[in-house]
C-alpha cells in the first residue's frame, strides 16, 4: 500500500472505532479508544510536570487565604461529584492556585486534578457562587471523560492513526511504552478547544453539580457577564476554549429554572447540617 496506512492498520483502526464507544453522563455517544484509567494515569504525570515550574518559582498557592477559599468551594463540588459518580471516589482530587495574574483560566484533568489561575480571581472577581460555576464546569469535563475522548479523537485522526498499534501494545504493558506521548496528549487535551457538544455537556453537568452543592445557579449567568466585560479588546485564555459569552449566558438562562429546585433543596440540607453542628457543640 503506497499511500496512507497499511491495510491491516486501517482494518484495525476501523474495528477499534466500532468497538470503542462509550456513553457520556448526558447519554451522548463518545469515541473512547483511550481507557479512562490510562487518561487518569497520564494526566497525573502531566499535572506534576505542568505545576513544577510554578512550584519552583514559588507561584503555587502563594496566598493561603485564596487557596483556602478555592479549596472550600471545590470540596463541596467534589463531595457531590462523588455522590453522583461513585467511580470518582477513588480519584486523587487536588486543586492548586497558580499565581499568574495575566491568565484568566481554570482546568480539571482526568482523575480530578485541578488548577485555577490568579488572573481569573483578580480580573473577573467572581463571587463564591460564580467561582463554583467555573470549577463545576471544569470538573464536569473530567466527569464526562472529555480528556480521554480528546485523546481518542487525536488517536483516530489521520495524524494519530499511526500510533494506534503502539498505544494498544502500551496498554498491555501497563501503558509503559507510551508514557511520554500519552502524558503530552493528556496535557494537550486540556489546552486545546473542546467542541461545542462537549462544552454544552460540561455546562449542563457543571451547573447541576454546583446547584446540588448549594451554589446559586443564577451565578452562571452573572459569571459570563463578567467574562464578557473582561474580554475587552482580546479575549482571556479561558474564552479561547469556550463559546462566546453571549451564547453561554443565553444557554445558562434556560438551564437556571431547572436547577433552582436542586439549589433550594441543597440550601435546606446545608441549613439542617449547620443547625445540627451547632446543637452538637452546645450539648454537654
| Greater model confidence, 220 or 282 | 220
254-279 residue pLDDT tens: 999 999 999 999 999 998 887 555 54
Q: Per mean pLDDT, which range of 123-127, 182-186, 211-215 is the poorest? A: 182-186
Could you tell me which of 104, 185, 110 has the C-alpha nearest to residue 140? Answer: 110
Q: In angstroms, rounded to a whole number, what is the distance separating the alpha carbons of residues 152 and 39?
A: 10
Query: 112 with 92: CB under 8 angstroms?
Result: yes
280 is a domain residue: no
Task: Report the Cα–Cα distance between both ends of the chain, in Å, rounded.
Answer: 83
pTM score over 0.85? no
101 is a domain residue: yes
277 is a domain residue: no
Q: In angstroms, rounded to a whole number, what is the distance separating the alpha carbons of residues 85 and 193?
A: 25
Nearest-5° Cα angle at 17, 204 to 142: 30
User: Catalytic site residues?
Assistant: 138
86 is a domain residue: yes
15 is a domain residue: yes
Place of cell 508514557: 179
pLDDT band at 29 (very low <50, low <70, confident <90, very high): low
281 is a domain residue: no
77-136 residue pLDDT tens: 999 999 999 999 999 999 999 999 999 999 999 999 999 999 999 999 999 999 999 999
Query: How many structural domains comprise the chain?
Result: 1
282 is a domain residue: no
| Greater model confidence, 173 or 244 | 244
Range of the domain at 128: 7-272
180 is a domain residue: yes
Amino acid at each position: 500500500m503506497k499511500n496512507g496506512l497499511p491495510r491491516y492498520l486501517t482494518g484495525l483502526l476501523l474495528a477499534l472505532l466500532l468497538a470503542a464507544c462509550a456513553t457520556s453522563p448526558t447519554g451522548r455517544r463518545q469515541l473512547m479508544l483511550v481507557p479512562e484509567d490510562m487518561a487518569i494515569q497520564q494526566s497525573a504525570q502531566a499535572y506534576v510536570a505542568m505545576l513544577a515550574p510554578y512550584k519552583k518559582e514559588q507561584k503555587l498557592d502563594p496566598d493561603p487565604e485564596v487557596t483556602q477559599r478555592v479549596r472550600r468551594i471545590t470540596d463541596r463540588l467534589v463531595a457531590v461529584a462523588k455522590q453522583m459518580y461513585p467511580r470518582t471516589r477513588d480519584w486523587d482530587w487536588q486543586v492548586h492556585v497558580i499565581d499568574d495574574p495575566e491568565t484568566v483560566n481554570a482546568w480539571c484533568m482526568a482523575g480530578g486534578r485541578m488548577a485555577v489561575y490568579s488572573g481569573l480571581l483578580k480580573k473577573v472577581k467572581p463571587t463564591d457562587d460564580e467561582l463554583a460555576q467555573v470549577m463545576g464546569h471544569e470538573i464536569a469535563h473530567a466527569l464526562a471523560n472529555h480528556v480521554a475522548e480528546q485523546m481518542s479523537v487525536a488517536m483516530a485522526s489521520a495524524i494519530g492513526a499511526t500510533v494506534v498499534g503502539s498505544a494498544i501494545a502500551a496498554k498491555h504493558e501497563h501503558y509503559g511504552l507510551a508514557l511520554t506521548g500519552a502524558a503530552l496528549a493528556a496535557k494537550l487535551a486540556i489546552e486545546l478547544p473542546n467542541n461545542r457538544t462537549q462544552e454544552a455537556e460540561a455546562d449542563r453537568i457543571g451547573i447541576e453539580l454546583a446547584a446540588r452543592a448549594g451554589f446559586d445557579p443564577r451565578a452562571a449567568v452573572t459569571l459570563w457577564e463578567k467574562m464578557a466585560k473582561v474580554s475587552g479588546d482580546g479575549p482571556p485564555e479561558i474564552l479561547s476554549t469556550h463559546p462566546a459569552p453571549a451564547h453561554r449566558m443565553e444557554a445558562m438562562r434556560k438551564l437556571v429554572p431547572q436547577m433552582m429546585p436542586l439549589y433550594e433543596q441543597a440550601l435546606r440540607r446545608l441549613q439542617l447540617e449547620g443547625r445540627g453542628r451547632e446543637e452538637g457543640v452546645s450539648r454537654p
